[in-house]
Structure 1
Amino acid sequence: MERLAFSTLPCEGWSMDEMIALAHTCGFSGIELREGAMWGITTEMTANERTSTLQKFEQADISITNIGSGVCFTGNAGDTEQFNSFVKIIQLANDLKAGGVRIFLGYFNNRRDSSVPAIPYPQLVAQIKKACDYAADYGVQVWIETHNEFATGRLLRKLLDDVDRPNCAVIYDIIHPLEEAELPSDTIALLGSQCVHVHIKDGIPFDDPMELSWKYTKVAEGEVPIASIIDQLEQAGYNGYYSLEWESTWRTELQVAGMEPTVIFPAYVEFMREIFHTRMK
């Protein structure tokens, strides 16, 4: 199994050498680089810094699966500033030979009893088209994550069809469609071949029914049917990475002893290898 990756999200303050060393030690073949100063990858990097970073990965034989940007389009006025950031990140992705840049859509609302602005759908579609056209000139794909108002395959399917750009694809974050009560079989069928990257995580619903999101757990300790999802993806012809997105940076339930990347990452690799070993029997 050579398609395991991790997001550098929980690796704040680490050097790139430390991230690559952990990947080697654990058995990862890809790394998903979170963009930002605290993760060592920024749009302010000089040409020499970009070249040096790429050489580190090539020498280590570790793929840069994508750049995990924080860019979020809503179809509203703030998209101008977001697009300016997006432009710089696309250039960074090109320099680092990353195939895709992750973006979000909509608003980060975790509660049913709080409201967010309406999304002007035609404007959002136009904004994504503009982003895809810019990225295409650099040979980079735009990867929309299943998140926020577009967490489900049923909503993303229409959006992808309306955007109609060959370099527009999806990161299937496996927990978010479940939070919206969409079955994995439906998500996978609806996304089809435009599902190019998968975020693995686990969790359970909060006791509070007003919570939109689930409470995160260690992988294999929650209610996300990870093995079944992987089996369905493989049967559907998925050939991308399975990337652990360990959100200890944001999630207080993961900010406890025993949840450090040095503990969680090797356990994840062992868990995933067992799933694939079982599938081969």
Structure 2
Amino acid sequence: MKLSFTTLGCPRWDLETIAARAAEYGFDGVDFRGLQGHMNVFELQPFAADWAQTRRRFEEAGLAVTCFSSSITLAIKEREAQNIEELERYAELCGKFGARYIRAFGGKLNGKSRAEGIAAASELLSRADAILRGTGVKLIVETHDDWTRCEDALALLEGTSADTVGILWDVHHPYRMFGERPERTWEVLGPRIEYTHWKDSLPDADTAGKFTYRFMGEGDVPFGDIYSVLQAGGYDGWYTFEWEKHWHPGLEEPEEAFPRYVRYMRGLESSGR
């Protein structure tokens, strides 16, 4: 089991701290979703002029850069130019860091029809294919926003090549938002699932549709079932912890949440479910 975390969970850590703590806690890689509050890491010196030094720092710590998590939003036509710029910049970074994945969102429909969203996404993904083909880099679309249900996520991928576009299964969202069973998610999306995000929560007793993030194993997301489904399906990708402290500052500190994640996931691995 290859473990990583997104830097969303440690918004105050600098690069040196990220590398040191990741190695100390037993992670195998890091997924970059911002650095110290700046989301577009390609704009920062450690990923621009000093990228070789940054790569060397992580390699010496025994860590892979697993993904660059972008803000690319497929279904929002008005964001097309920004999406393409991010895609090109992150594809360049993937080449420099030996990373395979760029995370993207389907996005919110905001009153548009699903057909309109799919049409906008299709046009963008066609351009993405031309940029990524032959590079070994894939754009992975997260089960999120208005594309959380497996059937809706699959609709975004219609007509795309598995060589350049895949699915990021955030194992929390389909279950929490829609009660979708992991067996169903895998049945529909399994051949295109390239990467996974993990986090736990409990539904709020007093507010329908709301939930509270919890440490791994302290919520009710069926991780044992999810892990079993992934193993049975032959999944050998990353298990990435997404502790959303950047968006929810009240969450516990990464110094507590990150090592707990490693202990929980290693226990899940050793138990076989």
Does TM, scored on the shorter chain, surpass 0.5? yes
Q: Partner residue of 1:49? A: 50
Three-state SS of the structure 2 residue aligned to 1:198 is strand
Structure 2: which 5+ residue stretches go unaligned?
A: none
Three-state SS of the structure 2 residue aligned to 1:219 is coil
Q: Among 182, 192, 195, which residue is 1:194 paired with? A: 192
Q: Among 112, 131, 147, which residue is 1:117 paired with? A: 112
> 1:203: Cα distance to partner?
1.0
Aligned counterparts of 1:95 and 1:18: Cα–Cα separation in 2: 21
Q: Partner residue of 1:184? A: 182
Q: Partner residue of 1:107? A: 108
1:197 is aligned with what amino acid?
Y
> 1:28: Cα distance to partner?
0.5
Three-state SS of the structure 2 residue aligned to 1:9 is helix
> 1:50: Cα distance to partner?
0.9
> 1:193: Cα distance to partner?
2.8
TM-score by length of 2: 0.89
Q: Partner residue of 1:271? A: 264
1:98 is aligned with what amino acid?
A
Q: Among 119, 140, 143, which residue is 1:143 paired with? A: 140
Three-state SS of the structure 2 residue aligned to 1:22 is helix
The equivalences for 1:64-79 within 5 A come to 64-79=65-80
Aligned counterparts of 2:50 and 2:17: Cα–Cα separation in 1: 16
Three-state SS of the structure 2 residue aligned to 1:196 is strand
Three-state SS of the structure 2 residue aligned to 1:203 is strand
Q: Is the 8 A contact 1:193 1:238 kept in 2?
A: no
Aligned counterparts of 1:250 and 1:229: Cα–Cα separation in 2: 26
Q: Is 1:33 aligned to 2:28, yes or no?
A: no
Q: Partner residue of 1:245? A: 242
Q: Partner residue of 1:111? A: none
1:201 is aligned with what amino acid?
K
Deviations 1:98-142 (A, max 9, x none): 11100111218xxxxxx5433512232121121132122543110
4+ residue segments displaced more than 6 Å: none
Three-state SS of the structure 2 residue aligned to 1:24 is helix
Aligned counterparts of 2:155 and 2:198: Cα–Cα separation in 1: 24
Structure 1: which 5+ residue stretches go unaligned?
A: 109-114
Q: Partner residue of 1:168? A: 165
Q: Is 1:82 aligned to 2:83, yes or no?
A: yes
Q: Is the 8 A contact 1:33 1:41 kept in 2?
A: no
Q: Is the 8 A contact 2:11 2:35 kept in 1?
A: no
Q: Partner residue of 1:129? A: 126
> 1:75: Cα distance to partner?
4.4
Aligned counterparts of 2:156 and 2:108: Cα–Cα separation in 1: 16
Three-state SS of the structure 1 residue aligned to 2:41 is coil
TM-score by length of 1: 0.87
2:7 is aligned with what amino acid?
T
Q: Is the 8 A contact 2:8 2:243 kept in 1?
A: yes
Q: Number of residue pairs matched?
A: 267
Aligned counterparts of 2:57 and 2:9: Cα–Cα separation in 1: 20
Three-state SS of the structure 1 residue aligned to 2:9 is coil
Q: Is the 8 A contact 2:74 2:105 kept in 1?
A: yes
Three-state SS of the structure 2 residue aligned to 1:28 is coil
Q: Is the 8 A contact 2:14 2:35 kept in 1?
A: no
Q: Partner residue of 2:155? A: 158
Aligned counterparts of 2:38 and 2:187: Cα–Cα separation in 1: 34
2:42 is aligned with what amino acid?
T
> 1:44: Cα distance to partner?
2.3
Q: Is the 8 A contact 2:121 2:156 kept in 1?
A: no
Aligned counterparts of 1:82 and 1:158: Cα–Cα separation in 2: 20
Q: Is 1:261 aligned to 2:246, yes or no?
A: no
1:80 is aligned with what amino acid?
A
Q: Is the 8 A contact 1:91 1:138 kept in 2?
A: no
- Cα distance 1:260–1:36, how it changes in 2: closer, same or farther (>3 A)? closer
Q: Partner residue of 2:219? A: 222
Aligned counterparts of 1:123 and 1:165: Cα–Cα separation in 2: 19
Aligned counterparts of 1:77 and 1:55: Cα–Cα separation in 2: 38
Aligned counterparts of 1:43 and 1:156: Cα–Cα separation in 2: 27
Aligned counterparts of 1:78 and 1:24: Cα–Cα separation in 2: 37
Q: Partner residue of 1:208? A: 207
Q: Is the 8 A contact 2:138 2:166 kept in 1?
A: yes
